[in-house]
C-alpha cells in the first residue's frame, strides 16, 4: 500500500536536512506505529506524504498503491486515498464544519468519478458518525475547529476520517490531549475502520493508544531515519526504558 524509500527531505527555505533516508512499507490491512523523540521527523514525514509546501525532497520516493505521491497535488493525494489526522488541527473561522465536510466528501467523490452525496444522505451519515464520536450537533454547526477544545479537535479529525473513508490513514499524535474516554472513542473510531483494504500509520509517544489500536509493526524514528522496527513489544520497551538503549544500539549497528 504505502511505500517510502530512502526519503531525504530538507526545508525549502533554510536548506536544513530533516529526513535523512526514511524507508518504510505499510502493506494493505496493517497498522504500523511510529514512535520517536521530539523533533525526530515524524510530523515532517506525514506532511511530506500529504503534500504540504515548504519541503524539498532531495532523494527517494513515496508511493501509494504504486502511484507516485510526491508528484501529486495535496487534493489528488486525498482523492487517491491518503488522509492525515493533523497533530495540530487547523482553525478556519468563517467556514462551517458541515460545509467543509460536505465540500470535502463531494470533492473526493467527484475526483474519483463517483456521484455526489445528496444533502439528505450526507446529513444522515454525518449525524451517525458524529454520534459515535460523541460530537454534538452544536459542534458541527460551528466554524471548523474554532473554539474547539484540544480533544474536540482531535475527535473532529477522526470524524473527517470516518466520513472520507481513506485507504491510507496517517494519525499524527491523535492521542495527545485526549482524556481517557475520548481516547477510547477515538480508538473505537479507528478500529471500526480497520479492514483488509485499509492501512494505518499511527504516530504516537505513548504505548497507551497502542493498547487500543494494536499495531502489527512499531518503528522507531530518530534524527530523520527509522532506526529500529519490531512488534508491539517495542512500544512497551520504549514505555519502560525510554529511547536510550534503542538509540545506543542503533548507533552501534
Partner 1 sequence: MLEAVKTQQTPVIEGAPRSARADVQLDARLAAAPAPMTGVTAPARADALARLKEQGLPGPRHEYWRYTDPAPFNAARPAPVALEAVAGDPKLFADVDKLRLVFVDGRFDAAASDDPALAGVEITTLAQADAQPGHWVAEAYGVLEAQGQKPVRRAFAALNTAVATDGAVIRVTGKADRPVQILYRPSDAGADVIVHHVLRLEEGAELTLLENGLLGARGNVVIEADLAPGAKLHHIAAPRAGVARIATTHLFARVAEAASLKSFELSVDGRHMRSESVVELAGDDAVAHVAAAVLGDGDNLRHDDTVFITHGALRGESRQVFKKVLKNGATGVFQGKILVRPGAQKTDGYQISQALLLDEDSQFLAKPELEIYADDVKCSHGSTTGALDETALFYLRSRGVPRERAIVLLVLSFLADALEEVEDEDLRAEIAGRLEDWLTAKAQG
Ligand X SMILES: Nc1ncnc2c1ncn2[C@@H]1O[C@H](COP(=O)(O)OP(=O)(O)OP(=O)(O)O)[C@@H](O)[C@H]1O
- Is 224:20 a contact under the CB 8 Å cutoff? yes
Q: Name the minimum Å distance from CB 106 to partner 1.
A: 9
Q: Could you say which of Mg ion, ligand X, partner 1, none residue 230 binds, taking C-beta under 5 to 8 angstroms by partner kind?
A: none
Question: Counting contacts by CB under 8 A, is residue 67 touching partner 1?
Answer: no
> Is 18 or 162 the residue whose CB approaches ligand X more closely?
18
Which residue in the set 75, 114, 134, 179 belongs to the binding site for partner 1 (CB under 8 A)?
75
> Is 43 or 156 the residue whose CB approaches Mg ion more closely?
43
Binding site for ligand X (CB under 6 A): 11, 18, 36, 38-44, 54, 87
Q: Name the minimum Å distance from CB 252 to partner 1.
A: 39
Within the chain, where are the H helices?
Answer: 42-50, 74-79, 97-111, 119-132, 137-141, 150-164, 180-193, 207-212, 233-241, 244-252
DSSP state of 167: S
- Is 156:145 a contact under the CB 8 Å cutoff? yes
Closest CA to 2 of 214, 202, 236, 199: 199
Distance CA 174, CA 151 (A): 9
Measured CA distances, 22 to 18, 51, 60, 237 (Å):
10, 16, 8, 22
> Is 44 or 174 the residue whose CB approaches ligand X more closely?
44
Matching residue, cell 488541527: 89
Question: Counting contacts by CB under 5 A, is residue 43 touching Mg ion?
Answer: yes
Q: Could you say which of ligand X, Mg ion, partner 1, none residue 137 binds, taking C-beta under 5 to 8 angstroms by partner kind?
A: none
Tell me how crowded residue 38 is: count the other CB atoms within 10 A of its CB: 7
> Is 44 or 207 the residue whose CB approaches partner 1 more closely?
44
Q: Could you say which of Mg ion, partner 1, ligand X, none residue 141 binds, taking C-beta under 5 to 8 angstroms by partner kind?
A: none
Question: Counting contacts by CB under 8 A, is residue 137 touching partner 1?
Answer: no
Residues 187-246 interacting with partner 1 (rule: CB under 8 A): none
- Backbone angle region of 201, left / alpha / beta, with phi > 0 → left and psi within -120 to 50 → alpha: beta
Provide the binding-site residues for partner 1, judged by CB under 8 A: 50-53, 73-75, 77-79, 83-84, 86, 89-95, 99-100, 103-105, 107-108, 111, 143, 160, 164
Provide the binding-site residues for Mg ion, judged by CB under 5 A: 42-43, 87
Amino acid at each position: 500500500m504505502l511505500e517510502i524509500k530512502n526519503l531525504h527531505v530538507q526545508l525549502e527555505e533554510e536548506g536544513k536536512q530533516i529526513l535523512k533516508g526514511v524507508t518504510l512499507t505499510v502493506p494493505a490491512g496493517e497498522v504500523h506505529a511510529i514512535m520517536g523523540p521530539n523533533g525526530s521527523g515524524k510530523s515532517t514525514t506525514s506532511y511530506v506524504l500529504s503534500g504540504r509546501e515548504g519541503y524539498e525532497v532531495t532523494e527517494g520516493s513515496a508511493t501509494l498503491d504504486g502511484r507516485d505521491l510526491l508528484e501529486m497535488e495535496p487534493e489528488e493525494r486525498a482523492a487517491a486515498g491518503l488522509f492525515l489526522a493533523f497533530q495540530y488541527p487547523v482553525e478556519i473561522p468563517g467556514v462551517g464544519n458541515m460545509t467543509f465536510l460536505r465540500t470535502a466528501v463531494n470533492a473526493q467523490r467527484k475526483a474519483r468519478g463517483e456521484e455526489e452525496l445528496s444533502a439528505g444522505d450526507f446529513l444522515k451519515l454525518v449525524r451517525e458518525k458524529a454520534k459515535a464520536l460523541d460530537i454534538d450537533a452544536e459542534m458541527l454547526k460551528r466554524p471548523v475547529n474554532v473554539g474547539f477544545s484540544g480533544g474536540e479537535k482531535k475527535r473532529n479529525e477522526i470524524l473527517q476520517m470516518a466520513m472520507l473513508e481513506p485507504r491510507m490513514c496517517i494519525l499524527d499524535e491523535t492521542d495527545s490531549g485526549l482524556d481517557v474516554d475520548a481516547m477510547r472513542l477515538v480508538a473505537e473510531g479507528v478500529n471500526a475502520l480497520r479492514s483488509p483494504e485499509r492501512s494505518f500509520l499511527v504516530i504516537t509517544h505513548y504505548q497507551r493508544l497502542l493498547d487500543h489500536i494494536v499495531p502489527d509493526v512499531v518503528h522507531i524514528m530518530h534524527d530523520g531515519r527509522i532506526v529500529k522496527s519490531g512488534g508491539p513489544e517495542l512500544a512497551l520497551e520504549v514505555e519502560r526504558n525510554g529511547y536510550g538503549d534503542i538509540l545506543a544500539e542503533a548507533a552501534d549497528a
